[in-house]
């Protein structure tokens, strides 16, 4: 089990962030400015939950180095400001790459204090290729259809079957979208952000990104530091590991988080009757996995689907009671129905997931170099699996198309930045998807950033999820730029919320604000 690199400072001095424009440091290709951008046409598209949402579309160049060439369309959403004091647009992104951000605008506007949200136009968007943006990519529909081969390649035949599947996905992407794939990457998405800024008529943007959205925001700040007014990065990607090393680091962190879940089940042995020793509970989980590898539950949940179902528990502990109920029902009573229900709720892929995965691979495989020799993947993943068996091979096959991707790769962006105004970072110490060390790294690379740590927290995406201490810091920063400043690399500490209590097994009851947020952020982000 890896150590979390954390020395947490107890007290932190609070200073007001001075948000002045700074000169551009890069020489990006031509991009729109506010003088030449066509105005957006907003139309009502409200829902019962978010009735004030408005929608618009924006054409941007497929290739930003050829601004008059082929155009693609981005889908945008907005909750307009209502206060007399207007602080500009707040662009929000849920991560991915591949997650739709249209509904997130409504969620953020509703979850922020009214007085804060009212001062911003909260802007959501579907990045290029995603959701309602056009074209929307779907390389190989049904790629995650059940029942897949066991992810752990314990035989040469299993390894070859999984390799064939990964190659088929990469080949399908190249055949269907060969003219588009060279332009599905983080830098292109960043230039889209600047087109959105220009179309909004704003000299600067405010930005709020979760997960991969933290990398998107950091790269935007690198290319356009003078156009950033305020930026919030929640659950921070390590930009020095993009993307192969970051995924290996995830495997260790998810294994730790899975064991924390097993310990939680053991603590509630009177409810789940799976044992009071976490090691024994974990052994029963792997025995369940082995049984499902032999015979899928309900013809839907094999070993790989079981992993798909339980991986979301590593993102958000609000799912633990429902996953534990399904686990216990299968092991104690040979009742597969709750497990199948949990799979359909948390693990099964639909059309939007197929689209999201197509963009996930397109961006990650293009953003940075991946090993092209499968022997390197085999060596690294078996070594990782020996210490962290829970997710390693499932994650390896999720990313394996990058070994065979039909486009060349770009160089990762060095996001080190002394010109961007103060940026506020939020990070849980036990986050599995973006391990804690990444936030420490970004705190160092963004010279004027501040890091707020949720001590003992393991969820991914922690603001606007019920922790009043974190949300108070967020609201203060968005109100007037106030950011904490401490010593030792951590600027403020909030204690994590308690783990959930066991509840009934009805999955539909996951309706808290945290569950709503994590439904928007999705998984594998």
Instruction: Describe the strand order of the beta sheet including 423-428 as a list of residue ranges.
Output: 43-44, 54-61, 71-79, 121-126, 89-93, 205-210, 228-234, 423-428, 450-455, 492-495
* DSSP calls for 280-344: HHHHHHHHHHHHHHHS-BTTTB-HHHHHHHHTHHHH-GGGHHHHHHHHHHHHHH---HHHHHHII
Residue 416 burial (C-beta neighbours within 10 Å; 0-12, 13-18, 19+):
middle
Phi then psi dihedrals of residue 59, to 5 deg = -85, 135
Catalytic residue among 64, 258, 460, 518: 460
Q: Which residue has the tokens 């036990």?
A: 430
CB 99 within 8 A of CB 214: no
Is position 211 annotated as part of the catalytic site? Answer: yes
- DSSP-derived 3-state class of residue 115: helix
Question: Cα dist. 351→2, 130, 343 in Å?
Answer: 36, 11, 16
CA 277 – CA 286 distance, rounded (Å)? 15
Active site residue 138: no
- Concerning whether 431 is annotated as a catalytic residue, the answer is yes
DSSP lists the bridge partners of residue 79 as 122
3-state secondary structure of 241: helix
Cis status, amide bond into 249, omega within 30 of 0: no
Catalytic-role residue among 121, 150, 256, 431: 431
- The active-site residue out of 188, 211, 358, 362 is 211
Distances (CA, A) of 352 to 130, 131, 176, 415: 9, 7, 17, 30
Strands 89-93 and 71-79, bridge-based pairing:
unpaired
Which residue numbers are catalytic? 211, 431, 460
């Amino acid at each position: 089990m890896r150590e979390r690199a954390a020395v947490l400072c107890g007290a932190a001095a609070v200073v007001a962030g001075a948000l002045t424009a700074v000169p551009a440091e890069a020489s990006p290709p031509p991009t729109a400015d506010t003088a030449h951008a066509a105005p957006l046409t907003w139309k009502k598209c409200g829902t019962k939950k978010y009735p004030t949402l408005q929608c618009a579309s924006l054409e941007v160049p497929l290739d930003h180095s050829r601004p008059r060439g082929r155009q693609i369309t981005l889908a945008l959403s907005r909750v307009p400001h209502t206060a007399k004091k207007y602080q500009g647009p707040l662009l929000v992104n849920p991560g991915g790459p591949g997650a739709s951000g249209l509904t997130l605008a409504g969620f953020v506007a509703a979850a922020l204090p009214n007085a804060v949200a009212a001062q911003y136009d909260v802007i959501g968007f579907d990045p290029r290729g995603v959701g309602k943006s056009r074209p929307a990519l779907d390389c190989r529909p049904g790629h995650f259809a059940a029942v897949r081969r066991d992810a752990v390649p314990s035989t040469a035949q299993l390894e070859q079957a999984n390799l064939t599947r990964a190659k088929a996905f990469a080949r399908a992407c190249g055949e269907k979208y060969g003219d588009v794939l060279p332009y599905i990457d983080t830098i292109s998405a960043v230039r889209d952000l600047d087109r959105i800024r220009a179309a909004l008529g704003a000299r600067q943007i405010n930005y709020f990104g979760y997960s991969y959205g933290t990398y998107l925001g950091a790269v935007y700040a690198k290319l356009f530091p003078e156009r950033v007014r305020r930026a919030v990065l929640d659950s921070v990607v390590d930009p020095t590991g993009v993307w192969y090393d970051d995924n290996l680091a995830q495997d260790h962190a998810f294994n730790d988080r899975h064991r924390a879940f097993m310990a939680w089940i053991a603590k509630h042995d009177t409810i789940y009757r799976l044992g009071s020793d976490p090691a024994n509970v974990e052994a029963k989980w792997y025995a369940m996995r082995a049984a499902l590898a032999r015979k899928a539950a309900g013809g839907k949940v094999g070993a790989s689907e079981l992993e798909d179902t339980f991986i979301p528990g590593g993102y958000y502990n609000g799912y633990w009671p429902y996953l534990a109920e399904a686990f216990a029902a299968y092991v104690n009573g040979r009742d597969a129905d709750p497990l199948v229900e949990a799979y359909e709720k948390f693990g099964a892929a639909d059309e939007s997931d197929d689209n999201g995965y197509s963009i996930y691979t397109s961006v990650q495989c293009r953003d940075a170099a991946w090993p092209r020799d499968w022997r390197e993947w085999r060596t690294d993943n078996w070594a990782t699996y020996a210490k962290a068996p829970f997710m390693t091979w499932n994650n390896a096959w999720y990313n394996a198309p990058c070994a065979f991707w039909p486009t060349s790769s770009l160089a990762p962006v060095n996001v080190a930045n002394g010109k961007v105004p103060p940026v506020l970072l939020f990070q849980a110490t036990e986050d599995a998807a973006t391990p804690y060390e990444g936030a420490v790294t970004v705190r160092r690379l963004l010279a004027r950033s501040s890091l707020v740590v949720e001590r003992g927290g393991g969820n991914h995406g922690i603001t606007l999820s019920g922790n009043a201490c974190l949300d108070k810091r967020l609201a203060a920063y968005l109100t007037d730029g106030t950011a904490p400043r401490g010593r030792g690399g951590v600027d403020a500490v909030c204690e994590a919320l308690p783990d959930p209590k066991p509840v009934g097994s009805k999955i539909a009851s996951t309706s808290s604000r945290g569950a709503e947020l994590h439904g928007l952020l999705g998984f594998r982000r």
